Structure 1
Amino acid sequence: MNVIDKSQQSYQEAFDIAKDKMPPTHPIRLGLALNFSVFYFEILDNKSKACQLAKQSFDEAVAELDTLDENLYKDSTLIMQLLRDNLTLWTSDGGVEEPETAPIVADAEGTN
């Protein structure tokens, strides 16, 4: 097993644990999803899997945004924005159809 395979296996194991133990809005889970999706895109050159992972993580977080701990709101929404930015960038390169994502809900001050 080479270093890339070991990295993918480690990412997958960590992601499975995060999905089991953390809510979709937790910044550690979101950060892991962000990094894992970049790994798929940049290292494995699997653009469709990268987009699928980023979109699923983003959509799951949006669906539970109203339950987000106030102390984690800023970190979580920042990472969600990065996931969405990557999706936009990756799908604008061509070759990967942009999946539909829900918008991030504005915070109390009316900003994202």
Structure 2
Amino acid sequence: MAKLSEQPERYDEMVETMKKVARVNSELTVEERNLLSVGYMVQKINGHIIKARRASWRIMSSIKQNEECKGNESNVKHIKGYRQKVEDELANISQDILKPH
């Protein structure tokens, strides 16, 4: 899940996933430590919320198309759900922006 989160640059979810892994496994592999480190580092410098969400959506759409071509319906279903989450976040951000203050 952390690797899937990294590709569309969903670093906040990448960090949360790796925290769960760390709770289960007291000693992380080198790859797991790197995923956690990258997630935290990028999360702190990413201030472009909408841009990041839109980029995530585009990347997930591309991954979904690749999985459809391979016939991996299970992966396609998982990616569609994940992409819907991003769409919902974008809708919430947009509503917040348009809300009268």
Q: TM-score range by the shorter chain?
A: 0.3 to 0.5
TM-score of the aligned structures, taking structure 2 as reference length: 0.42
Task: From the two aligned structures, give the one with the greater helix fraction.
Answer: 2
**Which protein is bigger by CA-based radius of gyration?**
2
